[in-house]
Amino acid sequence: MASSADTFKPGPKLNRFLSRPRPMLIGGKWVLAQSGKTFEVLNPATEEPLAAVAEGDREDIELAVRAARRAFESGPWPRITPSERGKLLWKLADLLEQNLEEFATLETLDNGKPLTVARVADVPLAVDLFRYMAGWATKIEGNTIPISVPYAPGAEFFSYTLREPVGVVGQIIPWNFPLLMAAWKIGPALATGCTVVLKPAEQTPLSALRLGELILEASYPPGVVNIVPGFGETAGAALAAHPDVDKVAFTGSTEVGKQIVKAAGASNLKKVTLELGGKSPNIVYGDADLKTAIPGAASAIFFNHGQCCCAGSRLYAEKNVFDKVVEGVAAEAKKIRLGPGMNPKTEMGPLVSQEQLTRVCSYIESGLAEGAKTVVGGKRAGNRGYFVEPTIFVNTRPTMKVIREEIFGPVVAAIPFSDPEEIVSSANNTVYGLAAAVWTRDVSKAHRLARQLRAGTVWINCFNIFDAALPFGGYKQSGWGREMGHAALELYTEVKAVTVRL
């Protein structure tokens, strides 16, 4: 394992940020928790404390929701023009870009991902999302609709629709792409004129808190964005159940997603959007270009250490190429350099937490106990930091836990198939429906499969291609609604029909 950067020392800018307990952002001010409590955030590569963060709870959520409500209803925000909203978002993107290196470092220290990845993916994608949403701020339009009212003969009407912001939005995000998930949530909310209370994941609150500083620097009015770090069971649950929150947008596990729906229903029937787990099929046909399909299949599962909701965790390969594909992906897995994300040579960092390490290792053990075999990997790597070896299972059965459940680690099951038609039902045989991929040189087959796969995203001869303009979200238990693209804006607005008698 690469190791040198264990001794990484933050520069003065990061030091300023990490050396004091990080307060929360409420009503445009940095404040400590009402309880005075803080919690520790660890560096997953070293298991050492990285920073202390204010621990938000019900009382802090209460204050944040009040600030968001005030900002939504009075003050400058509701009167700001769409063009100005767009400019503010663009300014936030510029500030983020100017601080790219600091954000990439923060993300690496907090989440564990390689710095080389955070630099080219996490931060630039967040910048791009804000710019994309900046453009939409001036393009949120209603329709004029001709009507024919049978019980008002001869009367003339003029009808039109308005798209109005849904209101105060609670946003709860996970730890796998902390900054990017904050951007996916905050971007459309600000473009449409909503106000926000964001709860980052307890493992990775730092980049969202630093983003809060940029939001103030960009001169957003107080209370438009409030950021309350804390635990899911307390702060998160209080936000989902708050009667004065108009919508909750959640990304995380399907299990917690169901609790969010319950809390939303029991409180005030707030709108809910969910981006949940996945068990994405990645299908390699015998006629695929294996030179791209093999590294593609490896990256589909090993990118971000498998901690991707869309990870290609079920690798189906046609029988005539199965051995070659498994050997190829295993060779790719063996080449991956594990180490602390700050080391420039590292290609895979640690999992985010002890809890994830335990969870992923117990899935590996369950696979072995149920009779599956590992071709490569199969255990923790080293004894310091939450590292797991890239792992490939073969000899699985569809009923095994490692086939049915989301592992959220660098663990893939390779499964042979012989009937090119039957593969559709195997691929769709899951409660999830977030993403799927097909590798083939046969264009018609690829498009046919794209229609048959029950998933919100289908990649053909590629994987993990994201763009702010493309909607992302799940079929079945992978979620409700879409993020990014103009589809996201619809879910942050209400439609009002206005009719005038002429």
Task: Respond yes or no: is residue 309 known to be catalytic.
Answer: yes
Picked from ligand NAP, Mg ion, none, the partner binding residue 236 (CB below 5 to 8 A depending on kind) is ligand NAP
Is 240 an interacting residue with respect to ligand NAP (CB under 6 A)?
A: yes
Q: Which of residues 318-337 bind ligand NAP (CB under 6 A)?
A: none
Nearer to ligand NAP, 133 or 172 (CB): 172
* Backbone phi and psi for residue 2, each to the nearest 5 degrees, phi listed first: -65, 145
Side-by-side strand order, sheet with 225-227: 29-31, 24-26, 225-227, 195-199, 168-172, 247-251, 271-275, 479-480
Side-by-side strand order, sheet with 373-376: 373-376, 391-394, 411-417, 314-318, 281-284, 435-439, 457-460
Picked from ligand NAP, Mg ion, none, the partner binding residue 251 (CB below 5 to 8 A depending on kind) is ligand NAP
Task: Respond yes or no: is residue 462 known to be catalytic.
Answer: no
**Degrees, nearest 5: CA angle 310-104-18:** 120
Comparing C-alpha atoms, which of 48, 47, 122 is closest to residue 350? 47
Is 276 an interacting residue with respect to ligand NAP (CB under 6 A)?
A: yes
CA-to-CA dists, residue 376 to 311, 390, 391, 447, angstroms: 18, 7, 5, 33
Region of 187-195, 248-256, 385-393, 414-422 interacting with ligand NAP (CB under 6 A): 248-256
Total binding residues toward ligand NAP, as defined by CB under 6 A: 27
Picked from Mg ion, ligand NAP, none, the partner binding residue 132 (CB below 5 to 8 A depending on kind) is none
Residue 434 per-residue DSSP state:
S
Query: What is the number of the residue whose Cβ is closest to ligand NAP?
Result: 232
Q: Which of residues 221-250 bind Mg ion (CB under 5 A)?
A: 232
Smallest separation, CB 453 to ligand NAP (Å): 19
Residue in this structure with the two tokens 């849904």, named with its chain if needed = 166
Q: Of residues 275, 332, 389, 406, which has the active-site annotation?
A: 275
**381 contacts: CB under 8 Å, gap ≥ 6:** 1, 338, 387, 388, 389
Q: Which of residues 340-369 bind ligand NAP (CB under 6 A)?
A: 359
Q: Quick one: CA torsion of 70, 71, 74, 77, rounded to 10 degrees?
A: -170
Among 77, 103, 136, 175, binds ligand NAP (CB under 6 A): 175
Nearer to ligand NAP, 86 or 236 (CB): 236
Is 377 an interacting residue with respect to ligand NAP (CB under 6 A)?
A: no
Q: Which residues bind ligand NAP (CB under 6 A)?
A: 172-176, 199, 201-202, 231-233, 236-237, 240, 251-253, 256, 259-260, 275-277, 309, 359, 406, 408
Residues that are catalytic:
275, 309
